[in-house]
Amino acid sequence: MNFYKLCIVACSCFCFTLSRETVDVRVYSKLTEGYKTFRIPCLARSANGTLLAFAEGRVPLDRPPVGNMSTCYGAEASLADGHCVDKDIVVKRSYDGGMSWSGPDVLTKTNKTYFYSNVNTALDAQGRIYLIYSRCSVDDYYGNCVDVIQLSDNNGESFTSPVYLSHHGRIGGPTGGWVVRYAIGKPFQGRIIVPKQGTLTTVLYSDDRGLTWKYVPGISNDQLTGEAAIAEVSDGSLVAVMRYGYMPVFFRSMDGGMSWTRFNTSHLINPNCEMSLTTFASGKDDEETKLLLSHANTNTSPSPNGRQNMTIHMSSDGGLNWVAIADIYNGPSAYSSTLQISSTTAACLYERSEGAPPVAFDSINIAFVPVN
């Protein structure tokens, strides 16, 4: 289906055209479906093409906040998000390429002891989906978290019971996970790897399809770096991007994530906010890869007021140089999750608002972007 026909179909789902070739569909809306708002999107695609839109459902409408402090809704949620302790993990499914979505399936439910945050996903060659997130103590906010692993072998229709790992800080932001594909003949091909955020950024990985997990010292030892995302280049090397004030920083690993080296890149801007990095394979037998980076693209003011202008940049040389390929939304926008969904198209699941910042984000939308 071409993008002009796609837009006609999607208009029944709150679509509006941002450019001649970009279609935008609303997936989550504030003050609906039992929650005051939804944030922190994570997009996954199953082996059979089902799209999964994970998010944090914040502050159920039918009960008061949990814990002594919660800033999960309203303008304060943008200013003091680290104290938000009313967060469930929810997922919606789309069976028609993102044009329509199911109601939310609540995977975890916050209580007076725990809340849940920062979903990561990965898909391996056999079709297994890895769902990885943080369970944190209401009393300690993000100071006392464990990693939680759940698996799906039925295209995300259901997940195994959760497995709780050791205390090693929280998962390092949404959508950061990756399964190593291109390191053919090397021992880390097939490795599931996820960045983690703590005092330092570390790596969580599994070489046995999620049966056991290990931690290694981090991508960065700079305490000013934050949430990270990992993607792969066709030579089998890994690239990581980390939030770092106005200037994202990039690292490369040649050994499956065991060690990392910082490298210089073009001067992209980012208002101290999470970024999504993904691999886009466009050549015969996936031999040609590009990197796609979605992020708020402005330096007008510090976070969160500067979280605007959702943009996708593309690199064809492993992250050394970048060019903008899509202006998704020029209003308030923050966290995003970008993923290849076909040989010619990427999708970006992102937070946005119609109001002026600082804001409680109104919705999570999905935009479809052709990649040449």
The residues, any chain, with a CB within 8 Å of residue 299's CB and separated by 6 or more, are 246, 269, 271, 306
Count of structural domains, the chain: 2
CA distance 141 to 338: 28
Residue 4 has pLDDT above 60, yes or no: no
Of 28, 50, 7, 132, residue with least CA distance to 366: 28
User: Considering the domain boundaries, does residue 346 fall inside one?
Assistant: yes
Alpha-helix residue ranges (DSSP H) falling in the chain: 3-10, 75-79
pLDDT for position 133: 93
Residue 150 has pLDDT above 80, yes or no: yes
Q: Are residues 51 and 149 in the same domain?
A: yes
Q: Are residues 140 and 20 in the same domain?
A: no
Instruction: Encode burial over 157-181: b for 16+ CB neighbours within 10 A, e otherwise.
Output: eebeebeebeeebbbbbbbbbbbbb
Mean pLDDT on 270-292: 85
Q: Are residues 20 and 76 in the same domain?
A: no
Q: Are residues 72 and 164 in the same domain?
A: yes
Last residue of a domain, one of 171, 198, 215: 171
Q: Are residues 292 and 364 in the same domain?
A: yes
Last residue of a domain, one of 153, 171, 189: 171
Q: Which of 2-6, 64-68, 278-282 has the lowest mean pLDDT?
A: 2-6
Q: Are residues 159 and 57 in the same domain?
A: yes
pLDDT for position 284: 60
Q: Which of 112-126, 192-206, 337-351 has the lowest mean pLDDT?
A: 192-206
Residue 297 has pLDDT above 50, yes or no: yes
pLDDT for position 18: 37
3-state secondary structure of 286: helix
3-state secondary structure of 3: helix
CA atoms within 13 A on the CB side of 206: 19
User: Considering the domain boundaries, does residue 218 fall inside one?
Assistant: no
Q: Are residues 162 and 107 in the same domain?
A: yes
**Cα dihedral sign, 262-325-125-128:** positive
pTM of the model: 0.91
User: Considering the domain boundaries, does residue 17 fall inside one?
Assistant: yes
* Residue-range definition of the domain harbouring residue 16: 1-30+265-372
Q: Are residues 161 and 138 in the same domain?
A: yes
User: Considering the domain boundaries, does residue 223 fall inside one?
Assistant: no
pLDDT for position 301: 67
User: Considering the domain boundaries, does residue 182 fall inside one?
Assistant: no
Q: Please return the burial class of 74, using the count of CB atoms within 10 Å of its CB with bins 0-12, 13-18 and 19+.
A: middle
Residue 336 · residue 308 · CB < 8 Å:
no
User: Considering the domain boundaries, does residue 369 fall inside one?
Assistant: yes
Span 91-110, pLDDT tens digits? 999 999 999 999 999 999 99
Q: Are residues 106 and 147 in the same domain?
A: yes
Residue 304 has pLDDT above 80, yes or no: no
Last residue of a domain, one of 119, 145, 171: 171
User: Considering the domain boundaries, does residue 59 fall inside one?
Assistant: yes
Can you give the CATH number for the domain in which 341 is found? 2.120.10.10
Q: Are residues 159 and 277 in the same domain?
A: no
Mean pLDDT value across the chain: 86
User: Considering the domain boundaries, does residue 191 fall inside one?
Assistant: no
Mean pLDDT on 353-364: 83
3-state secondary structure of 313: strand
